[in-house]
Structure 1
Amino acid sequence: MTETSPQAFAAAVARHGARTAVVAENGARLSYAQLDALRRRAAAALIALGVRHGDRVAIWCPNNVEWIVAGLAIHSVGAALVPLNTRMRGHEAAYILEKSGARLLFSVGRFLNQHYPTMLGEQRPATLAQIVVIENAEAGDLDWDGFLARGAGVADAEVATRAAAVRPGDCMDVLFTSGTTGLPKGVVTTHAQNLRVIAAWSRAVGLNPDDRYLIVNPFFHSFGYKVGWLGGLLAGLTVLPHAVFDARAILTRIERERVSVLPGPPTLFISLLGDPQRATTDLSSLRATITGAAAIAPSLIERIRAELGFKVVLTGYGLTETCGVVSLCAAGDDAETIALTSGKAIEGIELRCIDADGRALGPGESGEIVVRGYNVMQGYLDDPAATAEAIDADGWLHTGDVGHLDARGYLRITDRLKDMYISGGFNCYPAEIERMLVAHPAIAQAAVIGVPDERLGEVGKAYVVLRPGQTLDAPALIAWCREQMANYKVPRSVAVVDALPTNAGGKVMKFQLRQQA
């Protein structure tokens, strides 16, 4: 079994060299052999720019072909990939770049009316030696072609030597996830554990070389990256990256490119089902999907099957700390099981619900969900205290989620200990948003909860206490938030209150806020 990303991709190239590996949004195509040639050129350029085994290299860019080439190249030279959320503001990205010690950043140029390298500005960490602009470069940027040219003096043999030196236990990536402290933590995972998780997920979905896999899930997330483009390429299929979700554009691409696999959050399918163009679009190629990340009605599962034509519809559960996957439903499960549970633990993984004393609970008894097995992260980057808090002495990862297992071992998630909510497929951590809100000059205190939303599953609602003598209206605060934080974090409603409900210890009692909402 191939246990590193370079080995696994080389095996795919050997089997499928002449087949189409990727199709860009503009229709440009690369075979596996052509993609591999680009990977080698990019790896050579990284070597020329001084990237060493064990270094960290970041990517801050929407889904495109160059993202995939850069990702493969980073793996090839033994560096760790650090993806950045494209919705982050400059100071948010700068924190992760500094914390990870990234030597080099692949960045989009102008995107969503922002020039991303400029957003970093004076916050750019001293450790970041080079920025490569891989799309929409402006004057003065080192663009993609200029980057590739840097590797002209590096021999193919040196690139091959570096790839061969990558070991199964080497760090493959560091994905940052926020926690209750509100500051993102870097999740360290290895090549071997990621490849094993990808293989389990691919078997469940039935990925095969004849599939055409449209990936709208962002590449900065394990859903779009690990079981997205990387899983697709290792299965020998055709990957179709898509940068910005637009239901009409997705429907057009499904028909034109005969897409067969299209995962995504429930919001994606609700948008497709609601678009008038669906009635006149040929969706007969659609075969398999997997969704999750929010509460799902059984009727939606039925509609995804009946009206979009998917033969395989699955749900699952995972965390960044578990290489993205813990449990999955099976293709033969009924709509109610798929909608109301997150499936069974993947093979080789232990899953329990425990009480406050750490005792394993029986079927139907709710408690904290804990996970143990090969998918559990190596730890949080440079944070042994947070690692010890998350992974106990017996190797169980404490997820902070609450749920129960049924008699079949299927997991049903009922609550979140950490108050996290999920908006449009993105994890939102109230502590992080609250920390940003109290930086507003008019705000003394803030508490954020997730409230139901028909389109996004959940959205944020902020309760704020103003400083003495200050005034503030909701639209103004929401507009300010859009300037300060990623869009999915922005509260969609605001309530100005005289005081927040607290217990004797001063902790905000968010259950009371939820009851009010």
Structure 2
Amino acid sequence: MSEFTHVAAIPAYWEARQPDAIAMRFAGIDRTWAQLAQRVRRNAAAQRAAGLVPGDRVAVLDLNHPSCLELTLACAQAGTANAVVNFRLAPPEIAYVINDAKARVLFVGPEFAGAVDALRPSLPMLERVIRVGGPQDEYEGWLAAQEPDPTVYPADPDHCFLQLYTSGTTGFPKGAMLTHRGMLAHSRHLSATQSYRTSSRVQVAMPLFHVGGTSTALVALTVGASVILMRTPDPVAALQMLEAEKITHTFFVPALMAAMNQVPGAAARDYSSLEVLCYGASPMPLPVLRASLALFPGVLYQVYGMTEQSGAVSLLGPEDHANPAVAHRLISAGKPITGVEIEIHEPATGELLPPGTPGEIWVRSEQRMGGYWGKPEATAAAFTPDGWLRSGDGGHMDADGYIYITDRIKDLIISGGENIYPAEIERVLAEHPAIQDVAVIGVPDERWGEVPKAVVVLRPGADFDPQETLAWCRERIAAFKCPKTIDVVDALPRNPTGKILKKDLRKPYWEGRERQVV
């Protein structure tokens, strides 16, 4: 792989070396490297024609579509940044992200056009909406109106070209500014351990708003491989694609793998082309892992990562999955990948801790984000002066260098690959007229790894209906964030300073389990 220093160099590099090779396949349509490079140049030209200047943001609200990756590459060329919106968010949350990004142009898929029309009055900085795909597509005309412009903005390696949103402990998402340096380092580090090459056929099944989706695509494009893009992560279609397209590399979240194991005839298909199947982003129940080892023998890689580090930071490889002598490692997150340092520190003092001692996981690498968009205080809190990212994940490292993630210091809930902060849900439930006090915790779930549960104290004399309250919640935040159940208690446990003891609330649900968080 060429040592790129600028993401915009990728299309031109592979156009010159393999112009007729397939760069991207989607819904039966192929784009060669020559075609992709020209489309990216037209996109950059169209952005400039729209008055966008370096530092501006565009936004995408769509299911997976090649236009999102074209926009990301074109933003790298034009000096702008692509803010990809989580389409699973509720309308008020979508408006928050678009406004926070200060997006001037929004690209929207047909499934979300109506929602955007309704939101337009609450999007004062948005100048234009461009529909992508479907009978009312405007994207192709937007591209065709411009001649390809090869001009590349001379961005610094630490310039942001991609902005992905993570949930925040304050209850609002934060935009992680991903940079040329960081994303290219991730591609370099991951491809070095997983045999990516120009002949690889890389399935991208996960949503592009998720770092697991976009970073997988960028690794493939960086090495000149073919991206085979799925619109949605459907288990039946994903299995069919593995066989029909002779996929060599892919990434799934455990919830999708659980569904795949239930597909009739799944084991009868031919997956012999598959070399690397990464899984991660949420807890992997051991029964699902054992079934997946039988379905996909010899190719499973567990990955632990985070948006703030552009993707994966550690791997547990096939040899550790298959060796019964080290079966205990199946609940570990493996070892740091090439180019990444991981240490365990005491959260309060920052003291480096010895092997086996639980603490906070700190990560340092060239993959780091540029910071949180518009939130310098949050950025300063996330990083130490010497470049360590305080992950907020609790765990330990054994004497052999394997990382075990046992809890989340920041109370993050990871459900089916989605990051959910209790503060987001608590902020909404606290406004319900029947609720006086509330805490949200993650509880085990065989399908999703864990799901949110609300524990509430009612106002005196309140008339309370749990189902009505759950419906009330779904009107205000995304359905996947809403608690699946609500327990009513007389009082929440608190320490002397008044802080809710969520550890005490969680304990009965996690007792006797090997909690695995990846």
User: Is the TM value for this pair above 0.5?
Assistant: yes
Three-state SS of the structure 2 residue aligned to 1:53 is coil
Find the partner of 1:332 among 301, 305, 319: 319
2:22 corresponds to: 20
Three-state SS of the structure 2 residue aligned to 1:263 is strand
Structure 2 counterparts to residues 313-462 of structure 1, below 5 A: 313-335=300-322, 336=327, 339-355=330-346, 356-462=348-454
Q: How much has 1:484 moved relative to structure 2? A: 1.9
Gaps of 5+ in 1: none
Contact 1:318 1:325 survives alignment (8 Å): yes
Q: How much has 1:338 moved relative to structure 2? A: 5.7
Q: How much has 1:164 moved relative to structure 2? A: 5.0
1:122 corresponds to: 121
1:133 corresponds to: 131
Three-state SS of the structure 2 residue aligned to 1:333 is helix
> Which residue identity does 2:453 align to in structure 1?
K
Q: 1:343 to 1:59 in 2, by over 3 A?
A: same
Q: How much has 1:415 moved relative to structure 2? A: 0.9
Contact 2:72 2:81 survives alignment (8 Å): no
Q: 1:359 to 1:450 in 2, by over 3 A?
A: same
Three-state SS of the structure 1 residue aligned to 2:467 is helix
Q: How much has 1:302 moved relative to structure 2? A: 4.8
Q: How much has 1:165 moved relative to structure 2? A: 2.4
1:147 corresponds to: 142
| Stretch of structure 1 that moved more, 318-327 or 497-506 | 497-506
Three-state SS of the structure 2 residue aligned to 1:276 is coil
Q: Give the distance between the partners of 1:329 and 1:55, measured in 2 at CA.
A: 38
Contact 2:285 2:446 survives alignment (8 Å): no
Q: Give the distance between the partners of 2:410 and 2:494, measured in 1 at CA.
A: 17
1:187 corresponds to: 176
Q: Give the distance between the partners of 1:294 and 1:145, measured in 2 at CA.
A: 36
> Which residue identity does 1:23 align to in structure 2?
R
Q: Deviations over 1:53-105 (max 9, x none)?
A: 12111111111122222222222211112111010122112112222211211
Q: Give the distance between the partners of 2:153 and 2:497, measured in 1 at CA.
A: 56
Three-state SS of the structure 2 residue aligned to 1:110 is helix
Contact 2:411 2:421 survives alignment (8 Å): yes
> Which residue identity does 2:263 align to in structure 1?
D
> Which residue identity does 1:56 align to in structure 2?
R
Q: Give the distance between the partners of 2:262 and 2:284, measured in 1 at CA.
A: 16
Q: Give the distance between the partners of 2:289 and 2:197, measured in 1 at CA.
A: 23
TM-score by length of structure 1 reads 0.91
Q: 1:479 to 1:277 in 2, by over 3 A?
A: farther
May I ask how many residue pairs the two structures share in their alignment?
Answer: 502
> Which residue identity does 1:184 align to in structure 2?
P
**Does residue 108 of the first structure (1) align with residue 99 of the second (2)?**
no
Q: Give the distance between the partners of 2:168 and 2:411, measured in 1 at CA.
A: 10
Q: Deviations over 1:224-243 (max 9, x none)?
A: 002x2121112222212112
| Stretch of structure 1 that moved more, 329-338 or 429-438 | 329-338
Contact 2:182 2:309 survives alignment (8 Å): no
Q: How much has 1:300 moved relative to structure 2? A: 4.4
TM-score by length of structure 2 reads 0.91
Q: 1:67 to 1:174 in 2, by over 3 A?
A: closer
Q: Deviations over 1:163-199 (max 9, x none)?
A: 2523322212222212221122222232012101111
Q: 1:301 to 1:202 in 2, by over 3 A?
A: farther
Contact 1:90 1:123 survives alignment (8 Å): no
Q: Deviations over 1:29-57 (max 9, x none)?
A: 12111122222222221111111112111
| CA-based RMSD | 2.1
Contact 1:91 1:123 survives alignment (8 Å): no
Q: How much has 1:477 moved relative to structure 2? A: 2.1
Q: Give the distance between the partners of 1:183 and 1:137, measured in 2 at CA.
A: 35
| Stretch of structure 1 that moved more, 466-475 or 180-189 | 466-475
**Does residue 470 of the first structure (1) align with residue 462 of the second (2)?**
yes
Q: Deviations over 1:271-300 (max 9, x none)?
A: 111111314433333221111223335664
Q: 1:399 to 1:18 in 2, by over 3 A?
A: same
Q: Give the distance between the partners of 2:318 and 2:134, measured in 1 at CA.
A: 41
Three-state SS of the structure 2 residue aligned to 1:59 is strand
Three-state SS of the structure 2 residue aligned to 1:95 is helix
Q: Give the distance between the partners of 2:172 and 2:306, measured in 1 at CA.
A: 17
